[in-house]
Structure 1
Amino acid sequence: MTTEGKLTAEEIDEAHRVLSKVVTHTPLAYDDYLSKKYRANVYLKREDMQRVRSFKIRGAYYNIIKAEKEKLNNGVVAASAGNHAQGVADTCHNLKIQATIFMPVITPNQKVEAVKRFGGQYVTVILVGDTFDEAQSAAFEYTEKHNMFFVAPFDDRRTMAGQGTVAVEVFEDAVEQNINVDYLIASVGGGGLIGGLSTYSKKVSPQTTVVGVEPETAQSMKAAFQAQKPTTVENIDHFVDGAAVARVSQFTYNQAQQYVDKLLAIPEGKVAQAVLDLYTYEAIVAEPAGAMPIASLDFMASDIVGKNVVLVVSGGNNDIGRMQEMEQKALMYKGRQQFYLVEFPQRPGALRQFVNDVLGPNDDITRFEYTKKINSETGSVMVGILLDPVTKVDDLTARLAAFFPKYINLQENTVLFNMLV
């Protein structure tokens, strides 16, 4: 990996000259729905429209094409939660280079199958570990053992230079469309994209405010900013799998610390709602990491009124099987979906009393499962309630407390929630 010294805008320009013949110049599209909603001029940089449906092809291809040929003789190795793997797979298929790609076991199947499809006979996928960092550790060991070339997903100046070419296209199109970009907002995982974007942005448009958005449960760049060095974040959540990185690198931290103006943390439920809204209102399929910049607008609403805002939709590799999970997370974030554990009386009419005394007239029971019978008089029940939009959660819990004072709110107990829900 090459990380000495800071990346320059000139290096990103050079990467753009190479990649302009290889990658898709994706649209910078005015978004009427979001513009009206936030009273701003909102533009989407549609990296979900790349051949591999994410920006990662840029860094992967540029890193491999610029590598010394003798280093590629034994093939390449990569570690990825999905999108970087697809970029490496597509590149290796086109260049006829063998690749071994390590992915976390929990990677959505849609991404695993896409890697195999793009790579074909040139790619071997190895699933290992529960996190990106565990998969990367295994990839490092494999690389050293077999004397192969490691294609870093973010901790490499050539990878970052390739990813930074997103900004070259943004500002080329902004000039063509006569747009002065006030805000440039992109997701942060390992820091390669935001590092490249911010570096180029501050060179060609110093007045542009660059904002990086992280999952609330995986704020590795924020942790680095606070500690003034990379630090490992414990117990990260993997819902936003494309940005669930426990530790940024020294190289990406150095770049972001100098050029990124602001970091925002976005709750999972808000990200899920953004994914659903993009699909419902605009027929755009975005993965959680790709939808995070859209989700951030609620937290910047007062700042962006009347401004020109560019959001990087970094990827569209979303597994349709996750949509039910996203709907549930969005409803929970808005307070409409609630889950409780109660000890239910074992007598006739108890359920009717619960419905009459606890639920509002338009609330609905979505889950009702006995988990264990305590004795002949009571049984533990996990109950899911979908609240009517006018029902207040506090009113519901007050009625629930009157029905059974020792209820457990599962949203407040992660272990029980994951086990039961």
Structure 2
Amino acid sequence: MAKTVATYFPKIEDIKRAAKVIRQVADVTPLTQSIRYSKQFEANILLKREDLHRVRSYKIRGAFNKISSLSKEELAKGVVCASAGNHAQGVAFACNYLGIHGTVYMPSVTPKQKVEQTKMFGGEWVTVILVGDTFDDSSKAAMKACQEKGRTFVHPFDDPKTIEGQGTVGLEILDQTDLPIDYVFVAIGGGGLASGLIGVFNALSPNTKIIGVEPEGAPSMKTSMEKGVNTELIQIDKFVDGAAVQRVGDYTFAICKDHLHDMITIPEGKVCQTILDLYNRDAIVVEPAGALTIAALDYFKDEIKDKNVICIVSGSNNDITRTAEIKERALLYGKLKHYFIVRFPQRPGALKQFVAEILGPDDDITHFEYSKKSSKENAPAIVGIELKSPDDLEPLISRMKDKNFFGEYLNDKPDLFQYLI
């Protein structure tokens, strides 16, 4: 098996064949210029809107291509997959469309919106099982079910047919523009989309530089490339659920390590600010993984000037109930939201003094937890303060210390922060 993995590379004729297969379920998605980002980066920034599929992500491509390749006997037994959400919806849609039974394993922390969409697309043909805390937990449960029941596992990224289906994104891009493409930014979870794009551009546009982008809290591909061996991460931040895996694929690692021009990670807070900007300024709704490639542009602003740049907007399956967390993470990343343990003197008027003499004119208290202790001179409170500018932080802390209110600054104490906030 190791030899097969090491020698597999997606062929352009197989990707073109996949394009014909998926044509019946996957519309060609738009390639549109972003006027705002083009102006901001002095480049021609084009967005490949994979968020506009009927299942709202590119995953329908690989899922349908893989399932369509199965024999009648394999289809009759049914299929199994594991997914954090988008691949699940692609598999569910394919099962319903083709009339075959599927079982979808999803992490228990999957946003409710993605679970409900999967059930809706699958209808009577699909059973959803929530298990584990990560994609990798769900994947192990799904593989076990396959072995016990003799069903086919539809891998979300580490399968040639899946990779070739995802590669059809690249064919569409090249059909949609006559411009020479200098850069393609692609989000990487397991690496299936990136591997498919590499297959296309290696054959048809070899001068195009493909940049892989991962969330900072789940750098499985970057870590593996740095170590030279596919490495499983023990812990990951699952917030960017569409691109948070503990271990990338063996096929995809072998392809990406040799052919990606660069591999970078983006802080989750930066991703959140990009989500908010896209919604507020462009009326585009994206999930965290869908914002990764656009968030990466800041890190290449000098390199991409005057270039033709493609950002793959990979999906829009975002749950509105996550908005508060998205805003919070964005504010923390922008150094506009700060948490403190404030030691209030136990005397009348202490809180009034804090508001009048400690807070700046544009500061706002957004979080306050206080419990009065009658036997102590000072009582601690957890206070969250939103600033207008990051430059307002040091003056705020100075005023707290001068008036004896300062206790602890929590933002730079992650363990204590997670426990108290």
State the TM-score bracket (shorter-chain normalisation). Answer: over 0.9
- Identical amino acids, percent of aligned pairs: 47
Q: Report the Cα distance in structure 2 between the residues aligned to 1:373 and 1:85, rounded to whole angstroms.
A: 52
Q: Report the Cα distance in structure 2 between the residues aligned to 1:116 and 1:12, rounded to whole angstroms.
A: 29
Match of 1:105 in 2: 108
Amino acid at match of 1:100: T
1:375 deviation in Å? 4.4
Q: Report the Cα distance in structure 1 between the residues aligned to 2:401 and 2:8, rounded to whole angstroms.
A: 60
Q: Report the Cα distance in structure 2 between the residues aligned to 1:125 and 1:28, rounded to whole angstroms.
A: 33
Task: Describe how 1:115-126 pairs up with structure 2 within 5 A.
Answer: 115-126=118-129
Structure 1, 11-20 or 373-382: larger mean CA deviation: 373-382
Residues 343, 405 of structure 2: 8 Å contact kept: no
Q: Report the Cα distance in structure 1 between the residues aligned to 2:311 and 2:28, rounded to whole angstroms.
A: 16
Task: Describe how 1:301-312 pairs up with structure 2 within 5 A.
Answer: 301-312=301-312
Match of 1:95 in 2: 98
- TM-score, length basis structure 2: 0.95
Q: Report the Cα distance in structure 1 between the residues aligned to 2:130 and 2:294, rounded to whole angstroms.
A: 31
Match of 1:344 in 2: 344
Change (3 A) 1:182 1:348: same
Change (3 A) 1:390 1:160: closer
Amino acid at match of 1:419: Y
* Alignment of 1:324 onto 2:327: no
1:34 deviation in Å? 1.1
Residues 214, 266 of structure 2: 8 Å contact kept: yes
Residues 163, 192 of structure 2: 8 Å contact kept: yes
Deviation per CA, 1:365-415: give whole Å up to 9, x if none.
111112684943232311000112274323323333444586332222333
Match of 1:59 in 2: 62
- TM-score, length basis structure 1: 0.95
Match of 1:416 in 2: 416
* Alignment of 1:17 onto 2:28: no
Match of 1:145 in 2: 148
Amino acid at match of 1:147: G
* Alignment of 1:289 onto 2:289: yes
Deviation per CA, 1:277-322: give whole Å up to 9, x if none.
1111111111010011111111111111111110000001011111
Change (3 A) 1:110 1:372: farther
Q: Report the Cα distance in structure 2 between the residues aligned to 1:15 and 1:94, rounded to whole angstroms.
A: 17
Amino acid at match of 2:16: D
Residues 229, 250 of structure 1: 8 Å contact kept: no
Amino acid at match of 2:269: G
Residues 371, 382 of structure 1: 8 Å contact kept: no
Match of 1:396 in 2: 396
Residues 199, 259 of structure 1: 8 Å contact kept: no
Change (3 A) 1:375 1:64: farther
Residues 344, 405 of structure 2: 8 Å contact kept: no
Match of 1:36 in 2: 39
SS at match of 2:122: helix
Residues 129, 135 of structure 1: 8 Å contact kept: yes
Deviation per CA, 1:7-28: give whole Å up to 9, x if none.
2233212211222233110011
Structure 1, 309-318 or 20-29: larger mean CA deviation: 20-29
Task: Describe how 1:2-401 pairs up with structure 2 within 5 A.
Answer: 3=5, 5-175=8-178, 179-370=179-370, 373=373, 375-389=375-389, 391-401=391-401
Change (3 A) 1:255 1:375: farther
**Paired residue total:** 418
SS at match of 2:385: strand
Residues 338, 384 of structure 2: 8 Å contact kept: yes
Q: Unmatched 5+ residue regions in structure 1?
A: none
Change (3 A) 1:138 1:159: same
SS at match of 1:304: coil
Amino acid at match of 1:383: V
Q: Report the Cα distance in structure 1 between the residues aligned to 2:74 and 2:404, rounded to whole angstroms.
A: 67
Amino acid at match of 2:199: T
Q: Report the Cα distance in structure 2 between the residues aligned to 1:147 and 1:408, rounded to whole angstroms.
A: 57
Q: Report the Cα distance in structure 1 between the residues aligned to 2:372 and 2:17, rounded to whole angstroms.
A: 64
